[in-house]
A and B are shown apart, each in its own frame.
Chain A
Amino acid sequence: MDERLTIASAKANLEKGSLSAEALVGSCLETIKQGDKDVHAFLELSQTAIEEARAIDARRNAGEQLGPLAGIPVAMKDNMLVQGWESTAGALILEGHKGSYNATVTQRLKDAGAILIGRTNMDDAAMGSSTETSHWGPTKNPWDMTKVPGGSSGGSAAAVAAGFVPVSLGSDTGGSIRQPASLCGVVGLKPTYGRVSRYGLIALASSLDQIGPFAHTVEDAALMLQVIEGKDPRDATSVDLTQTTIPELIEKDVRGLKLGLPKEYFLEGMDPAVKKTVLEAVDRLVAAGAQIEEISLPHAEYALAAYYIIQPAEASSNLGRFDGLRYGYHSSGQNLKETYERTRGEGFGREVKRRIMLGSYTLSAGYYDAYYRKALKVRSLIKKDFDDALKIVDAIVTPTSPSVAWGLGEKFNDPLTMYLSDIYTITANLATIPAMSIPCGFVNDLPVGLQIMGKAFDEYTLFRIGATYQSLTDWYLRSPDTFST
């Protein structure tokens, strides 16, 4: 069995003194330089990581009290600002843009002693489900280099799967953490909307976006959440938490927990082998003492349609700020309007332009009621479905993705088929609830993910279920052949 690089294992060695932060960060950077030529998980590596690691070692040697992530290498998705780092959100339109300040998650990681090791590849402005729309070229799935890693946080998922870093951050608007976590065989958590500050995250759809961790173990994901969560005066939608995350308190026991299986999620469109694998995982939880109840989420079939109105509508207004004047790509025209049109026409990729136009259309006079207002009402119905179901059960379990990783280029020219790969994940964003994907087996040697969704701000139950499952199985310990040590 391969030993995977986790925070827990690295921390034990750092604290014992058998490993220095400098050696750990140095070996991560070396592994990335070797392996990332093929994977392309990273867009850029930190120039100061070694220096920062040395500073942590010096403080440790001086007997100072260190933060919970002291010396731990963390990879950041390219849409979270790190002061002085280029930050492009995978988009040409932000070429050359450098973060002028730290995102709140960045600051909290730094305060906890984490070493930010580099920025990871992602779909163009986070619009995509395969990381193929990145202006900087696709990322490949470490399990099979001919396959996509999922998206939009494909680089952050692949970086953990390949063993380049123990943990990374991604952002999830409709599944952009959980779907790549599933396709790359790692843990990925989308916290409850409002749990983690979005300050310094390049916005896609502000009512859906949430930052969360990738890790190998549920405990590592919980530790990352503990560091980044909580109220932030700079994000008015962040919430004062009544219960904070305490990784040490996660019980590995699911006896008496009621798990809901939504019948609408198992109807059609799913690879039968994925369905079988997910149901086997559910059986494991039942054997461990959980109870299963079939539940209904009657508006599930409308979720994708509501999402593809709300998300492009919010994106079209959020991306209005990219004018080519204050930062990033610039293309001059005869007058200001032409400069805007040229900059945006050239700087945005095709999928991004498609969604900006979709949003402009559904928000325009005459169509607003039929599309946007209608979608907000359907969003209420979807949220009510979940609220009702979660009164009966403690958590809901589903597949994360209807299929395992597909071939590079396979769905690239068919937007609707690409959108369907997020069919099981977008509902959690619409309903604002937390959801996590954990590795639960393989189909054709490619990882399958089990999605666990819970009540708003009840990440604890997700961790409890996930940690119990990981204590009974070893899927999460496996590593891709190419990257096994």
Chain B
Amino acid sequence: MKFTREEILQIAKLSRLHLEEDEIEEYRESLGSILEYVAKLQELKTDDVPELQHAAEVKNVFRADVVEGCDEEVRHRAIDNFTDKEGDLLKVQAVFEGRTE
């Protein structure tokens, strides 16, 4: 199984990844051979088998939805990591500007 160029570009788009030409070629092969390998699971009949959803078999944990703020040092360090900021606010490009879809 080998993916087409268009299929790889579609998956890359869903994944928000820009790919170089040589990467597109490589993934056409390697994603194909991995999916061929994992198709092995189709040999098993699993109609009545439950999905393993939760590893630790724990229940949902609820808490009140209240703003607690955070430690001042943690807050400052988080802000220091921002790529671009204005004061203490994260600065990003406009979300809707220039959208074609």
Contact = CB atoms under 8 A, between A and B. Distances in A.
A316 B12 CA distance: 11
Interface in B19-64: 19-20, 23, 26-27, 30-31, 33-35, 37-44, 46, 49-56, 58, 60-61
Interface string A338-382: 111110111010100110111011001000001101111111110
Contact of A356 (B17, B40, B42, B52): B17
A432 B52 CA distance: 11
Contact of B51 (A83, A84, A376, A415): A376
A360 B44 contact: no
B92 A336 contact: yes
B67 interface: no
Contact of B77 (A100, A336, A376): A100
A252 interface: no
Interface residues of A, number: 69
A241 B99 CA distance: 51
A378 B78 contact: no
Nearest to B95: A336
B90 A325 contact: yes
Main secondary structure of the interface of B (DSSP, over half): loop
A360 B8 CA distance: 11
B97 A308 contact: no
Contact of A100 (B23, B31, B81): B81
A217 B81 CA distance: 39
Nearest to A355: B34
Given A193-B56, A335-B93, A353 B17 contact: yes
A324 B97 CA distance: 18
Contacts of A83: 73-74, 77
B90 A341 contact: no
A306 interface: yes
Interface of B: 8, 11-12, 14-20, 23, 26-27, 30-31, 33-35, 37-44, 46, 49-56, 58, 60-61, 71, 73-75, 77-78, 80-84, 90, 92-95, 97-99
List of 7 A-B pairs having minimum Cβ-Cβ separation, nearest first: A345-B18, A100-B77, A376-B51, A194-B56, A327-B81, A377-B46, A341-B18
Given A326-B82, A338-B18, 15 more contacts: A83-B77, A236-B60, A305-B37, A305-B38, A309-B38, A325-B90, A326-B83, A336-B97, A341-B16, A346-B18, A353-B23, A354-B31, A354-B34, A358-B34, A361-B11
26 contacts: A83-B74, A96-B81, A98-B77, A100-B78, A101-B71, A101-B74, A194-B58, A237-B55, A299-B44, A304-B37, A305-B41, A309-B38, A320-B16, A335-B94, A336-B94, A339-B93, A341-B18, A361-B14, A364-B14, A375-B38, A375-B41, A376-B51, A376-B52, A381-B46, A415-B30, A416-B34
